[in-house]
């Protein structure tokens, strides 16, 4: 029967855990600035004139979507830094419900505009 060596594996896990905690702390320190800068940049982009041609219009909205996705990812990283793994898992479920509510509200607003 082969004997398993657990010493190095435990050491690696501890090292990875410490590294992950270091990354978490660094992100928690820097992410607020990154989020603020991304939002300011996006607001500046929104202040630019809207393109009148269809291709430019599509590119403009694609860029807006990319900017919002960027801010969303930064916000999710911030949540990860602030919460325990259990809190993050619970939030993911409630976030799906929140997105469904936002979509329903957007659809209702569109119907009001069309009606």
- For residues 1-8, give the mean pLDDT: 56
Per-residue pLDDT reduced to its tens digit, 34-81: 999 999 999 999 999 999 999 999 999 999 999 999 999 999 888 888
Residue 70: is it exposed, middle or buried by C-beta count within 10 angstroms (0-12/13-18/19+)?
middle
pLDDT classification of 91: cutoffs 50, 70, 90: low
d(CA 19, CA 12): 10
pLDDT classification of 23: cutoffs 50, 70, 90: confident
The residue length of the chain stands at 115
- Whether the full predicted model's pTM is greater than 0.75, yes or no, is no
């Amino acid at each position: 029967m082969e004997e398993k060596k657990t010493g190095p594996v435990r050491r690696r896990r501890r090292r990875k855990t410490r590294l992950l905690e270091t990354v978490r702390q660094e992100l928690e320190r820097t992410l607020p600035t990154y989020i603020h800068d991304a939002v300011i940049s996006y607001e500046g982009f929104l202040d630019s004139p809207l393109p009148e041609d269809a291709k430019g219009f599509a590119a403009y909205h694609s860029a807006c979507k990319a900017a919002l996705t960027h801010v969303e990812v930064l916000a999710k990283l911030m949540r990860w830094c602030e919460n325990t793994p259990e809190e993050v898992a619970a939030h993911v479920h409630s976030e799906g419900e929140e997105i469904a509510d936002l979509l329903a509200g957007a659809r209702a607003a569109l119907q009001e505009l069309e009606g």
